Amino acid sequence: MIKWRGISFKLHPLFVLLMLLSVMTGQLTEAVTLFGIVLLHELGHLAMAMRFGWTIREVKLLPFGGVLEVEEAGTVPAREEALVAIAGPLQNVFLAAAAFAAGWAGWVDGSWADGFATANATIALFNLLPILPLDGGKLVQCWMSLRIPYHRTLLWSMRISLLFSAATVAGSVYPLLNGGRPHFNLLIVGSFLCASNWTYRRNVPFVFLRFLVHRARRSEGRIGAGTLAQPIVVSEHRPPSAVVKLLMKERYHLVYVMKQGKINRVVPEGQLIDGFLRSLTNGHADLRFFM
């Protein structure tokens, strides 16, 4: 582990395993090149996150990219999350273009330049798959959060990630049907993504709870700056645990509580969230409701 400016840089055990396999099969140069590409990819994310003032706790390097552990996860604007997500693949685009130009100019060996450019393109394209925690999965989640309630966004991004993770595993063993050999690297990575998203499935209630905890602070900022409210209309019999599931990440809401076809009262979202969080501490609500 390496620490820089309070940020821990770690190699995920999966990355260490694939690096060892590369060394054992006589592919040391390829392993070192992969490490450099992944590191620069993740530094793209890091630079953009630091530009927005995010608090980064840890950078974990994986064979296909990496994961930033940040304090603000799920609580920052979708625009910032999208720009941080796309910054990694853009690094690979720049590296591939630089390698191609250097090979064309004769500054480096042409075959090495082609291989380096291909490796960058592969990592960039793989990262754009709609699977969490890949960049494509984060971009899909950002896009969905602008159109549907955030709780539904979390559920559907998890389901899409599980589906494509399973498809990745299936693709890795597909050659067996034609008498070929499976793609072991893809099988390992796909299995990791399946396990990661299965764990994420169980953690959705806690991810949503963190969103609600930070929501009040962002709501106060929106009110202070002036904002248009999007109404949520519910029956007086609808519990707060169901109403908070209707909150949009990028909207401020006023909740209109209806009784016999008339507005009984108007509840600001901050008051709604506070009431729901108090019910959790009092033991009157169950997080399993958010599964």
Residues assigned a catalytic role: 42
Name 56's bridge partners.
70
At 266, list the tokens: 């108007």
From the number of C-beta atoms within 10 Å of its C-beta (0-12, 13-18, 19+), residue 226 rates as exposed
At 275, list the tokens: 């009431």
Alpha-carbon gap, residue 130 to 150, rounded angstroms: 17
At 245, list the tokens: 């599931």
At 284, list the tokens: 């009157």
Type of residue at 41: H
From the number of C-beta atoms within 10 Å of its C-beta (0-12, 13-18, 19+), residue 49 rates as buried
Nearest to 150 by CA among 89, 199, 218: 218
Type of residue at 193: L
From the number of C-beta atoms within 10 Å of its C-beta (0-12, 13-18, 19+), residue 24 rates as exposed
Residue pair 245/273 in contact (Cβ under 8 Å)? The answer is no
